[in-house]
Amino acid sequence: MTRAEAFSEREVAMCTVAHLIEDGRTYWAAGGGTPLYAVLLGQKLYAPDAQYVTEDGVISPEPLLPFEPMMTMVASRAVHHALQWGTMNSAGVHAQLGHMDYGVLNTLQVDQHGNINSTFLGEYGGSGRRFGGPGGADTIAACCWRTILITDQDRRKFVKQVDFISSPGFLDGTPGARERAGLPRDTGPWRVVTPWAMYDYSERRLRLIARVPWVSVEEILAECEWKPLVASEVQVLEPPTEEELQLLRTELDVRGQTTDAAGGWITWDGEQYVRA
């Protein structure tokens, strides 16, 4: 594997998630886009026995890549050679039954307890801005055993309390809050991955556990609206490899829709990685 020399920030997040994908586990990837690409990247490079489902109830397909634009569900290439074709209710019910080990989601806004907002920025019903709604993410966050959330490291997105809980994290953070709301026992947020960092949860609060080599802990904390817990030893994440980027760019995100080419880029200057 070869360390890559130029990549976008969102590519970093997808590659980081790919390393979390394990053999012998089931993954429910929200929508298309980033979560699905991250799961496919992990499955193809590191965990060939990782299985995934999508919202239209497709189980373990062998998709014909690349997808056509927007066609990551229902379309024949996306659902190709699955083990079963289902429906949204079959996917939802299988998650209720406990068949989904991990959910992989992305979002607009996340808070200290891992609650997710994809509905409304600002005071609900006020002059703020409406977004698409939870889609499948609410059920993924409620019913998968563990959830992995992908988002940007930006203090407007990394907030103390989300403006609107579209999909549940640890709710108010008190022990048993999810169960009191009728959610299945022993489920909940597990990791948050951004282009700069990875977090787990300690006592149901976000904790910084790893960073990329080109960003300091202080820079990360400056992009959080509140101060998250910081692990006593913050690990350093591996940068993307050429193999990962090759796959991502030629088979998965071939149109650059999720790589945010207009956003931040990282390059190797011969001695170190620098943010362009």
* Site of interaction with another protein (CB under 8 A): 55-58, 64, 68-71, 73-77, 79-82, 85-89, 91-92, 95-96, 119, 124, 129-139, 141-143, 164-168, 171, 177-184
Q: Which is nearer to another protein, 32 or 42 (CB)?
A: 32
The backbone region for 138, taken as left when phi is positive above 0, alpha when psi lies in -120 to 50, beta otherwise, is alpha
* Nearest distance from C-beta of residue 102 to another protein, angstroms: 16
* Nearest distance from C-beta of residue 178 to another protein, angstroms: 6
* Nearest distance from C-beta of residue 10 to another protein, angstroms: 20
* Nearest distance from C-beta of residue 258 to another protein, angstroms: 15
Q: Which is nearer to another protein, 3 or 130 (CB)?
A: 130
Q: Which is nearer to another protein, 139 or 258 (CB)?
A: 139
* Nearest distance from C-beta of residue 145 to another protein, angstroms: 13
* Nearest distance from C-beta of residue 169 to another protein, angstroms: 9
Q: Which is nearer to another protein, 114 or 195 (CB)?
A: 114
Q: Which is nearer to another protein, 91 or 237 (CB)?
A: 91
Q: Which is nearer to another protein, 104 or 141 (CB)?
A: 141
